[in-house]
Chains A and B, each alone.
Chain A
């Protein structure tokens, strides 16, 4: 460009992928940009544990680096880690996967989701996705060439989905049902009998089930139900899990997929070309988490549970109706009493009181009227945030 020339000269370049361009940016991003530019913000917008990875797990990774374990691993992941995952899933859910052929270590559940949809979908195939849901679910389906069909759940139903709702929207193009319980953002879980009915429906219609159970260890009043463990589920289920939430290991980016061999080998093929393998230090850390992570996990769950009761009680006192979430570390209060929509409320809260929450609409249409508040935060900050939210709410309600 010539100095002083105001006319922009654009190089000759064809447009980027229309599928990628048309994909909307995450609703969370906008909030992040605003909040990041402000001082003294208390954030309930963080979707990760506030604990640091337990020391024994960090130390295991340091030790492996010291010993020079810096190579690629098998595409599937370290065999000792896959064996440990296999044992772990049997112990927790009495469901068995062969460590040699039915388990794949991935770069977080995020990669696993992408693999699952790429493996399952042909262009135009449909995936049924209960909403509100994790922000990546629908984009992952789209990027794999599929169409995500939202199935709206509501606060009245405890944000649980029912087989009938899926049945109503199944078409000949429907290929899979995506389940993500305990749920981000609602914290809700699914009762065994309702899950079984969904599995039965999938069996009748020949559908796959992609089940993201990353929050499985963070349930409070009842045992988690693993979808693969249900009658008739294993053969059609792609079970996704990982280490991020249970062991406070988000930054390690390590997860895994369990599925029957004929499904898993296709995921593995894609993984071998696109990712090759998960980082070896992270895999070593994950192995330590499975061997000796249970005690720190129990301690973290006990603390989340106390904060959960505190924050839910706090919202209800303020006058924002909030159901007790059964899992994950999110409360999803109803903010309709304030007369504002989710986006406006979150914005007012950020500008007036410097508390960051995520509007429910970022998680799909069913999230209107709610905001997601993470209680993976210290007690002091949760209490301070509640008092600030209370101040704004009182102003809005009066």
Chain B
């Protein structure tokens, strides 16, 4: 392959990457932004834009579209806990086998492998304190290879997914200014 053509190809991929990143940033701010609007924001056709979004969905880059909800404001009580799990890593699979075992429970919202004193940090959501306690005691602590858990309950949310919960930021600029 000639050096110019590989350079041109590289440039093209870089441009595509830039467009993809731009689309993803728009969607991460508001996943309901219509493709027509996104197309106009990035200066591409609607077909191009929908094509790129579909490809990103198919590749699994876009996992899913969700809403950030203040359940408390709705009056819905939910118990959320962060659980630090110490794990004995297994030969061949390391932490993956236990991590996946934990991740498959629907109560478990997120599972991360972290550095520091514990190995896995998981986020669990339950309807009340008792069911959460039961879940940890019966399901997590009893998994082979789990050597200890530390549970921390969430008391109040201040910010989630870039959204401040309690501090609306009104637009108090002058209506017309030079």
Seen from chain A, the residues whose Cβ lies within 8 Å of a Cβ on chain B are 26, 28, 31-32, 35-36, 41, 43, 45-48, 50, 52, 134-136, 184, 302, 306-307, 309-310, 313-314, 356, 358, 379, 383
User: Are A309 and B22 CB-contacts (below 8 A) given A50-B171, A50-B173?
Assistant: no
Q: Are A32 and B176 in contact (CB under 8 A)?
A: yes
Q: Which residue of B lies closest to A135 (CB)?
A: B178
Is B43 close to A, CB under 8 A?
yes
User: Are A379 and B178 CB-contacts (below 8 A) given A50-B171, A302-B25, A306-B26?
Assistant: no
Q: Are B175 and A309 in contact (CB under 8 A)?
A: no
Q: Which residues of the other chain, B, contact A35 by a CB distance below 8 angstroms?
A: 175-176
Instruction: Give the distance to chain B from A301, nearest Cβ to Cβ, in Å.
Output: 12
Q: Are A309 and B43 in contact (CB under 8 A)?
A: yes
B 27-79 contacts with A by CB, 8 A: 30, 33, 37, 40-43
Q: Which residues of the other chain, B, contact A383 by a CB distance below 8 angstroms?
A: 37
Q: Are B33 and A379 in contact (CB under 8 A)?
A: yes
Cα–Cα distance between A31 and B174 once the two chains are bound (Å)? 11
Is B169 close to A, CB under 8 A?
yes
Instruction: Pull 15 A–B residue pairs with CB atoms less than 8 Å apart, ordered by A.
Output: A26-B178, A28-B176, A28-B177, A32-B176, A32-B177, A35-B175, A46-B174, A46-B175, A50-B171, A50-B173, A309-B43, A356-B175, A379-B30, A379-B37, A383-B37
Task: Count A/B pairs, Cβ under 8 Å.
Answer: 60
Cα–Cα distance between A134 and B169 once the two chains are bound (Å)? 29
Q: Are A314 and B40 in contact (CB under 8 A)?
A: yes
Q: Which residues of the other chain, A, contact B22 by a CB distance below 8 angstroms?
A: 302, 306
Q: Are B175 and A32 in contact (CB under 8 A)?
A: yes
Q: Which residues of the other chain, B, contact A52 by a CB distance below 8 angstroms?
A: 169
Q: Are B41 and A310 in contact (CB under 8 A)?
A: yes
Cα–Cα distance between A302 and B171 once the two chains are bound (Å)? 20
Q: Are A45 and B37 in contact (CB under 8 A)?
A: no
User: Are A134 and B178 CB-contacts (below 8 A) given A50-B173, A302-B22, A306-B26?
Assistant: yes
Q: Are A310 and B37 in contact (CB under 8 A)?
A: yes
Q: Which residues of the other chain, B, contact A356 by a CB distance below 8 angstroms?
A: 175-176
Q: Which residues of the other chain, A, contact B173 by a CB distance below 8 angstroms?
A: 46, 48, 50
Cα–Cα distance between A43 and B174 once the two chains are bound (Å)? 9
Instruction: Give the distance to chain A from B104, nearest Cβ to Cβ, in Å.
Output: 36
Q: Which residues of the other chain, B, contact A32 by a CB distance below 8 angstroms?
A: 174-177
| Most A Cβ at <10 Å: residue of B37, B43, B177, B178 | B178
